[in-house]
Structure 1
Amino acid sequence: MTSCPPGGAPDLMFLLSWASHALMAEHAAGLAELGISPRAHCVLLKARPGGLSQRQIGELCGIDKTTMVVTLDQLEAAGLARRHPSPSDRRARLVEVTREGEKILDRAQEIAARIQADVLAALPEADRDVFLRSIKSLVGGRLAGQACGQPGRSAC
């Protein structure tokens, strides 16, 4: 599964896409045990500190306005989050994670950490930090304008 042309360099786009898709599928399967999606996980994670509007959280998660409303409706129906009016902007709704949401989020973070550790364990130990530094460098630099959370992108 390298998508490498004969005698050519590996296809970076294909490799990163394949890795992302496989990792997202594993993440979604793990979170399904908790009854939430990766999108809901992102919303709960960004909402946890408090004080952010649903618009701000949507931007941080790369979720459009309509999808954010649907996601928050689902989280509220499950008792994991609630919205309340902002005291400083009557048009804005702040998102708060409930106690049950905190419990689910803690378990979701454990699942995500377990998956990450398992994936990284497939690399030689000496390569793990180099790999993570390299990916962070790409996403924080050359590929920053295309990263998840940018306007027009779906949740990652």
Structure 2
Amino acid sequence: MTAMAPVRAEVDLSFLLDRTSHVLRTRMAAALAEIGLTARMHCVLVHALEEERTQAQLAVIGDMDKTTMVVTVDALERAGLAERRPSAADRRARIIAVTDKGREIAERSQRIVDGVHRAALGSLPAEEREVLVRALRNLTEGHLAEAVEAPSAARRARQ
């Protein structure tokens, strides 16, 4: 005999957010791959262009561990898109500086990222787009702004 699954009292918000996030990431990855970038590489380039930032600061912004960040910056350096340099503000610190070639690629990648986002939101009626974006902002700035301690680390979806 098959056991009965519990009746859901609420919509499965975790599934909806995980599924849309996963599909959006795969579309982003495919689009950025056309110019030889990953989403992480794009993130580092764009945020390094905003202001002088260390590798550690960029890792926090991109939600990357140290190893992933090192691999990402190594790839950017090999491609001639960025380089590690001493900080102008603190000579002991090293920043990630974007090269001229990296700036051009970052501009292209930002147009690609904007296009992927525009296509996703464009699949909704205009009034639903505004409501969705406002609701997600409210969640990320409010109730779901900070992760909580869990007995075991919650695994992120594979990228």
1:34 maps to a residue whose letter is I
Distance (whole Å) between structure 2 residues aligned to residue 114 and residue 44 of structure 1: 18
Contact preservation (8 Å) 1:76, 1:82: yes
How is 1:54-65 mapped onto 2 (pairs within 5 angstroms)? Answer: 54-65=55-66
TM-score, structure 2 normalization: 0.84
1:31 aligns with 2:27: no
2:24 maps to a residue whose letter is L
Runs (4 or more) in structure 1 with deviation over 3 Å come to: 5-9
1:95 aligns with 2:96: yes
1:40 maps to a residue whose letter is M
Partner SS for 1:146: coil
Compute the RMSD of aligned alpha carbons. Answer: 2.2
Task: Give the corresponding residue for 1:118.
Answer: 119
Distance (whole Å) between structure 2 residues aligned to residue 111 and residue 118 of structure 1: 11
Contact preservation (8 Å) 1:40, 1:71: yes
Distance (whole Å) between structure 2 residues aligned to residue 140 and residue 73 of structure 1: 33
1:69 aligns with 2:67: no
Contact preservation (8 Å) 1:54, 1:95: yes
Map Cα deviations across residues 18-43 of structure 1 (whole Å, 9 max, x no partner): 00000000000000001010011111
Give structure 1 stretches of 5+ with no counterpart.
none
Task: Give the corresponding residue for 2:87.
Answer: 86
Contact preservation (8 Å) 1:44, 1:81: yes
Identity of aligned residues (%): 42
Distance (whole Å) between structure 1 residues aligned to residue 138 and residue 155 of structure 2: 20
Cα distance, 1:47 vs structure 2: 0.3
Give structure 2 stretches of 5+ with no counterpart.
1-5, 149-153
Map Cα deviations across residues 39-91 of structure 1 (whole Å, 9 max, x no partner): 1111111101231111111111111111111110100000000111224141x
Cα distance, 1:10 vs structure 2: 2.2
Q: Alignment length, in residue pairs?
A: 146
Map Cα deviations across residues 120-155 of structure 1 (whole Å, 9 max, x no partner): 1111111111110100110111111139xxxx997x
Cα distance, 1:9 vs structure 2: 3.4
CA pair 93-79 structure 1, distance change in 2 beyond 3 A:
same
Distance (whole Å) between structure 2 residues aligned to residue 73 and residue 45 of structure 1: 16
Cα distance, 1:7 vs structure 2: 7.0
Distance (whole Å) between structure 2 residues aligned to residue 32 and residue 94 of structure 1: 25
Once the two structures are overlaid, the 10-residue window that deviates more, 7-16 or 52-61, is: 7-16
